């Protein structure tokens, strides 16, 4: 072992914490999960071996897709959670001990080892980010890139399009609606689950129209909001909202399928898009996507997003929950629509 590696390893041994908390999947839920499906455990934190780093997590991300990983099943966008094992998700942390020259103590990194206070892994599993890039560190966990990719790469948004976004007050939907407006959409419409959220969309976020999907048939509400039809649908929900969007779509409309909240928030199977005759007759494009296929757009989006923030032309909403112990309940509340914008858990100050 080289002397520099020995020094790094010795420092890691003396600077690491003894234990840390992590959240494990206690049992696989049948239908909707509850608190008893989570287990919070105090576990030993090892020193990083050569080539590894030890990271103290500052923030972790919560998103509705975690419900699918708890339930398991096939065709998941990423590995499911395993019973008895620590869960995973996006997180941001600070390197506190390094045994690899590519990362130094004090570096800020993003990674996939959420749901724990400390993470030890190969240095290549962590990506260094700029501490000064955004007004708050937790913004590195935002879903703006997901919205940007769905609109620009998947739905091929064009200036003059009418855009409909479901779950528009959430982390991804709130970004999608605003980005559509900034990229020249003629009209932006959103759906949400309460009158307060509808007012938030048309007031603070600048949507042209919005409706509460509990207020009668969704197809009727969408037709009222989009009398000239819609060209792009950013789908976070599936179910009845997807079927309504297909009916209101203009010829050659494009649908970017980002999520399936309807399936995740109920124990019932989703009925899917319904009668596909409209898809055929209107020559619609329906395309699912995940962010991991489009990471080449990250630099492009980051530059624009920082410009929008400096100009004050985009609003970033965030709900911050304190402490790993609060994370399971926060995830359940997120699925029930109790949060606005991006939801993160603060693990350390």
Q: Per-residue pLDDT tens for 117-129?
A: 999 999 999 999 9
The CATH number assigned to the domain with range 144-292 reads 3.40.50.720
Q: Identify the H or E element spanning 261.
A: helix 261-264
In the prediction, which pLDDT does 273 show? 73
CA dihedral sign of residues 41, 45, 46, 49: positive
Both structure tokens of 240: 């009845």
How far, in Å, CA of 328 to CA of 120, rounded?
22
Give the residue extent of every domain in the chain.
3-141+316-346, 144-292
In the prediction, which pLDDT does 263 show? 54
Contacts of 86 (CB under 8 A, 6+ apart): 22, 23, 24, 115, 116
Contacts of 70 (CB under 8 A, 6+ apart): 25, 28, 29, 33, 37, 80, 81, 87
In the prediction, which pLDDT does 342 show? 95
Helix and strand numbers (H, E) in the chain are 11, 15
Q: Do the Cβ atoms of 308 and 142 come closer than 8 Å?
A: no
Q: Could you tell me which of 227, 231, 225 has the C-alpha nearest to residue 213? A: 225
Q: List, for the chain, all residue ranges whose pLDDT scores fall below the cut of 70.
A: 1-16, 74-77, 261-272, 274, 349
How far, in Å, CA of 306 to CA of 298, rounded?
12
In the prediction, which pLDDT does 72 show? 79
How far, in Å, CA of 235 to CA of 289, rounded?
11
Write the class of the CATH domain 3-141+316-346.
Answer: alpha beta
pTM above 0.75, yes or no: yes
Both structure tokens of 330: 């926060």
Cα dihedral: 67, 70, 76, 79 (round 10):
130
In the prediction, which pLDDT does 335 show? 85
Phi then psi dihedrals of residue 254, to 5 deg: -130, 135
Angle between helices 218-225 and 239-248 (to 10 degrees): 40
How far, in Å, CA of 178 to CA of 231, rounded?
16
Q: Could you tell me which of 49, 16, 60 has the C-alpha nearest to residue 123? A: 49
In the prediction, which pLDDT does 77 show? 66
In the prediction, which pLDDT does 5 show? 45
In the prediction, which pLDDT does 262 show? 53
How far, in Å, CA of 161 to CA of 155, rounded?
11
DSSP-based three-state secondary structure for 234: strand
Phi then psi dihedrals of residue 318, to 5 deg: -145, 135
Contacts of 320 (CB under 8 A, 6+ apart): 138, 344, 345, 346
CA dihedral sign of residues 145, 150, 156, 160: negative
In the prediction, which pLDDT does 12 show? 43
Q: Tokens 């009845």 identify what position? A: 240
Both structure tokens of 204: 């603070």
Q: What is the DSSP letter of 252?
A: E
How far, in Å, CA of 71 to CA of 50, rounded?
36
Both structure tokens of 67: 């419900």
Other beta carbons less than 10 A from residue 241's beta carbon? 23
Phi then psi dihedrals of residue 18, to 5 deg: -80, -45
In the prediction, which pLDDT does 2 show? 41
Contacts of 177 (CB under 8 A, 6+ apart): 163, 165, 168, 188, 190, 201, 205, 206, 207, 234
């Amino acid at each position: 072992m080289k002397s520099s590696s020995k020094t790094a390893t010795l420092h890691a041994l003396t600077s690491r914490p003894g234990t840390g908390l992590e959240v494990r999947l206690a049992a696989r839920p049948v239908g909707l999960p509850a608190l008893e499906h989570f287990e919070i455990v105090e576990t030993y934190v090892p020193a990083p071996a050569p080539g590894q780093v030890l990271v103290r997590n500052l923030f972790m991300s919560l998103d509705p897709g975690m419900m699918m990983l708890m339930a398991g099943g096939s065709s998941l966008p990423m590995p499911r959670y395993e019973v008895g094992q620590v869960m995973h998700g996006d997180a941001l942390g600070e390197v506190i001990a390094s045994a690899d020259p590519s990362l130094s103590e004090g570096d800020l990194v993003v990674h996939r080892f959420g749901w724990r206070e400390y993470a030890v892994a190969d240095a290549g599993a962590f990506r260094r980010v700029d501490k000064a890039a955004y007004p708050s560190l937790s913004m590195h966990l935002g879903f703006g890139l997901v919205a940007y990719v769905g609109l620009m790469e998947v739905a091929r948004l064009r200036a003059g399009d009418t855009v409909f976004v479901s779950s528009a007050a959430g982390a991804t939907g709130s970004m999608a609606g605003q980005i559509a407006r900034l990229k020249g959409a003629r009209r932006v419409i959103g759906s949400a689950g309460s009158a307060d959220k509808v007012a938030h969309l048309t007031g603070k976020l600048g949507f042209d129209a919005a409706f509460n999907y509990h207020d009668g048939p969704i197809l009727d509400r969408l037709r009222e909001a989009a009398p000239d039809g819609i060209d792009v649908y950013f789908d976070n929900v599936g179910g009845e909202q997807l079927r309504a969007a297909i009916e209101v779509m203009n010829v050659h409309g494009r649908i970017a399928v980002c999520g399936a909240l309807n399936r995740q928030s109920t124990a019932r199977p989703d009925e899917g898009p319904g009668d596909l005759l409209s898809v055929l007759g209107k020559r619609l494009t329906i395309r699912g996507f995940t962010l991991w296929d489009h990471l080449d757009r990250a630099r492009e989006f980051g530059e624009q997003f920082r410009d929008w923030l400096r100009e004050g032309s985009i609003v970033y909403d965030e709900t911050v929950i304190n402490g790993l112990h609060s994370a399971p309940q926060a995830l359940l509340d997120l699925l029930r629509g109790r949060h606005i914008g991006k939801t993160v858990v603060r693990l350390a100050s």
